Amino acid sequence: MFIKGEFFFFFYYIVLEIAQIQLTSCYNVHMKYKNYIWDLGGTLLNNYESSSHAFAAALWQSADRIVLHEDIYNALKVSTDYAVNTFARDIPDFLTTYKKLEAETLKRPILFPGASKVLSVLMENGRQNFMISHRDSQVMAILKKAHIDQFFIEVVTADNGFSRKPAPDSIYYLLKKYKLNPDETVMIGDRPIDIEAGLAAGVQTVFFDTKKTDPRASQNIQNLTELLGL
């Protein structure tokens, strides 16, 4: 009976391996892009909810100020600078307080469904993953805690000194350093500035949002796994 059980699990494992090979081969046929440049927050990392709570806590802690959660969430979706200028421009050292509280929430990073799988399949199929983030070197710690750091060729952070998106400087840097063909390179993000940066750099663009679309983007997706069929 024990031998039969071992055989069953061995057979089950082989079936799973074959299914995975077939799945990967299927994706390999359809993927037209070779180079994927990712945004982090709101694209791979589902951080807006926790960041909104941290922002609200910072407002209360710094100035006894209350702002609706939805308003903070929508402002952060535009950019952190926009949210700060909208709700906390007059509060000294607010950004420092907010970043300290947000860092606590990022100790337990939550990825969007399919994020790790998509990165893995892309790498297994010879595609290259890059990242451009407005955050500093803290990004590397986040990626490691989320167990996806191994999927990236290079991660460009604020420490590199490039102008922030929508400026295309960081994309130009990757194109030049790795001799990437713009027609085979795609910028993936959840905000208009990601699409604007990609368009300015002359690469393809994918806008990721579960509700909205951006007509300027080359493609719009609601689930990250849709990338594997593009």
Does the global pTM surpass 0.85?
A: no
What percent of the chain is predicted at pLDDT more than 70?
87
Residues 6+ apart with CB under 8 A from 89: none
CA distance 31 to 125: 9
pLDDT at residue 122, as a whole number: 97
Q: How many helices (H) and strands (E) does the chain have?
A: 9, 6
98-140 residue pLDDT tens = 999 998 988 889 999 999 999 999 999 999 999 999 888 889 9
Residue pLDDT, tens place only, 55-66: 999 999 999 999
Cα–Cα distance, 152 to 90 (Å, whole number)? 39
* Band of residue 230 on the pLDDT scale cut at 50, 70, 90: confident
Quick count: other Cβ atoms within 10 Å of Cβ 67? 17
Distances (CA, A) of 130 to 22, 136, 150: 26, 16, 11
Collapsing DSSP to helix, strand or coil, 222 comes out as coil
- The domains found in the chain, sorted by start residue, are 32-45+111-229 (3.40.50.1000), 48-105 (1.10.150.240)
Instruction: Match 């609200």 to its residue by tokens.
Output: 56
Q: Which of 13-22, 34-43, 188-197, 206-215 is the least confident region?
A: 13-22
